[in-house]
A and B are shown apart, each in its own frame.
Chain A
Amino acid sequence: MASYYEQKWETMSRDEMRAHQDKLLAEQVRHVYANVAYYRDLMDGKGVKPGDIHGVDDLKLLPFISKDDLREAYPYGMLAVPLSDTVRVQSTSGTTGKRVVAFYTQEDIDLWDRCCARAIVAAGGSNKDVVHVSYGYGLFTGGPGLNGGSHLVGSLTLPMSSGNTERQIQFMTDLQSTILCCTPSYAAFLAETIHEMGLRGKIKLKAGIFGAEAWSEEMRRHIEQRLGIRAYDIYGLTEISGPGVSFECEEQTGMHVNEDHFIPEIINPITGEVLPDGEKGELVFTSISKKAFPLLRYRTRDICVLSRKACSCGRTLVKMAKPMGRSDDMLIIRGVNVFPSQIETVLINCGFEANYQLVVDRVNYSDTLEVRVELTPEMFSDEVRKLEMREREVVDKLKSMLGIAAKVTLVQPKSITRSEGKAVRVIDNRGGKL
């Protein structure tokens, strides 16, 4: 039997949810228009007034906000309340250009924590659990978000933060952590290290809540099997609040969006036109309950699909599929759109582990892709012919499944740098080359 953190909101009828969203959206637009000059100018530019927005049906009239807008408005341009009402700042990692800072009132933090609490309960968490948070703490939202959620659930919270793997594993065994929260690549790394240390039998983990980077179904199965857990996906972004914008339930077929706070839309990334449920496009969020940093129609650059099919867990919240990758991660190689996660799937299907790096370059006006993948000790053979067959299998599958020609290079086990936060999988050397 499924349990919920906030059953009322998680299982509300569609009509009630819609009425709630209509009301909050109209209020939020008035709040933003009155307090955020930057967005007021965007609305005025489109000739839209707060009075035009009566509910979700009118959402499409509003202008989009992009990451560029946030950079433009840095740091206070999107702030919608007096600074004296804010209590917290979180920030994006700033890997692509100038960082974004997001502000929170205490109420904004509280609702974010509740969203994370829903995710923990959906992953089977309760006050009897030991929640091991290995997301980074600090400006990154991962640690603070799950930490807050875990407190609300009443679980014993281990604020481990990222790094220091041996200490992580020591706490995990000594304090019997049951739910692990971290990036999927770090979960895979922990699993590997636990096996190497021969401690698999001392681990009491039952579930993991993994997010903040793209990962594949194959990687999910790999982690589940290595750690003997169920691995749940969680989604979020600092601009909207942090982890917990959506979360997975026991069905593991997509993430329920906390629609009472965040309205999702899927748009055609080129025309901006809203697409019907079930179609693939760019995910856009409108924050309807947050007060300090309430973004309307924020373009996430994540490509994904929404589904309103009834879920066996009883939640009525719309589900979003695992993003196929951020459009920032999307590589265009000789005109073909490629997501690293698709390449990862091919590698895992060919028996490799998800330890790889993609090197993109331009030679003689044409893009080249090199897939550097670690050889596993089990795969190694003294016969070069067999190693070459392994390489060729990957090359052929990349060609037939993704339509791209790649060079595959086998590298020594564990030679690709493991990051303890986000994995750096792509090295693009094309910058400026013709």
Chain B
Amino acid sequence: MAIDQLSVFVENKQGKLVEVLEALGQAGIDLRALSIADTADYGVLRVIVDRPVDALKVLTDLGFAVRINQVLPVSVDDAPGALGNTLRVLSDAGIFVEYLYAFVAHGEDRAFVILRVADNEGAEKVLRGRGIAIASKEEIYK
């Protein structure tokens, strides 16, 4: 099942990223994963948090451009070649991955890979068909 990802427009200005992270921290929102796509002038911060709707409100109130969209959390063995295999499966099925980032699960030999694809359901079906597990919300937020 796809899960919510929060993305935030962050200008490349001193203190902007800190402002976002502190605001989330003060609201007691737990950050599970984070990635930043950078350009010369701004970055797009993407985070997986436990309370995405609350986080959206906190940041919108501060004047940030924020958006929630669905991403696919794939669960892979924390072992060499596992991620490559996953991407190969998608590539063979003609599914274009816009971006991805990974994080390791707490105290387990598994890693989660967050995939941004146009069609989450289609990608999920393909991956499951090849025995690749999709992480549940519970696993992610554990």
Contact = CB atoms under 8 A, between A and B. Distances in A.
A33 to B, nearest CB: 59
Given A382-B69, A384-B37, A410 B42 contact: yes
B11 A412 contact: yes
Interface string B32-71: 0000010101101010000000000000100111110100
B65 A375 contact: yes
A116 B66 CA distance: 45
Nearest to A411: B11
Interface of A is mostly: loop
Given A382-B5, A382-B116, A409 B67 contact: no
Interface in B66-96: 66-67, 69
Given A383-B116, A410-B41, A412-B65, A377 B5 contact: no
B103 interface: no
A412 B17 CA distance: 12
A410 B99 contact: no
B65 A382 contact: no
Contacts of A388: 39
B12 to A, nearest CB: 10
A229 B74 CA distance: 52
A381 interface: yes
Contact of B65 (A376, A384, A385, A409): A376
Contacts of B11: 411-412, 415
Contacts of A376: 65
Contacts of A409: 41
Q: How large, as a class, is the contact surface on chain B?
A: 20 to 34
B46 A382 contact: yes
B42 A380 contact: no
A383 B99 contact: yes
A311 B66 CA distance: 48
Nearest to B42: A410
Nearest to B7: A382
Interface string A237-252: 0000000000000000
Contacts of B65: 375-377, 379-380, 412-413
Contacts of A382: 5, 7, 44, 46, 67, 69, 116
A414 B59 CA distance: 13
A384 B116 CA distance: 12
A387 interface: yes
A383 B67 CA distance: 11
B9 interface: yes
Interface residues of A, number: 19
Nearest to B41: A409
Contacts of A384: 37, 39, 44
Contacts of A380: 7, 9, 65-67
- Among B10, B42, B65, find the residue whose CB has the most chain A CB atoms closer than 10 A: B65
A261 B105 CA distance: 80
A137 B11 CA distance: 37
Interface in A401-419: 409-415
A377 B39 contact: no
A412 B9 contact: yes
A388 to B, nearest CB: 7
B89 to A, nearest CB: 22
Nearest to A379: B65
Contacts of B99: 383
B63 A413 contact: yes
Contact of A415 (B5, B60, B63): B63
B138 interface: no
- Among B41, B46, B60, B66, find the residue whose CB has the most chain A CB atoms closer than 10 A: B41
Interface string A210-234: 0000000000000000000000000
A381 B60 CA distance: 14
Interface in A101-137: none
Contacts of B44: 382-384, 387
B108 interface: no
Contacts of A414: 63
B109 interface: no
Contact of A412 (B39, B46, B64, B116): B64
A415 B99 CA distance: 28
A290 B17 CA distance: 59
Interface of A: 375-377, 379-385, 387-388, 409-415
Interface of B: 5, 7, 9-11, 16, 37, 39, 41-42, 44, 46, 60, 63-67, 69, 98-99, 116
24 contacts: A376-B65, A377-B65, A377-B67, A380-B7, A380-B9, A380-B65, A380-B67, A381-B67, A382-B5, A382-B46, A382-B67, A382-B69, A383-B99, A383-B116, A384-B44, A387-B39, A387-B42, A387-B44, A410-B42, A411-B42, A412-B9, A413-B63, A413-B64, A414-B63
Given A377-B65, A411-B42, 9 more contacts: A375-B9, A382-B5, A384-B44, A387-B42, A410-B41, A410-B42, A412-B10, A412-B16, A412-B64
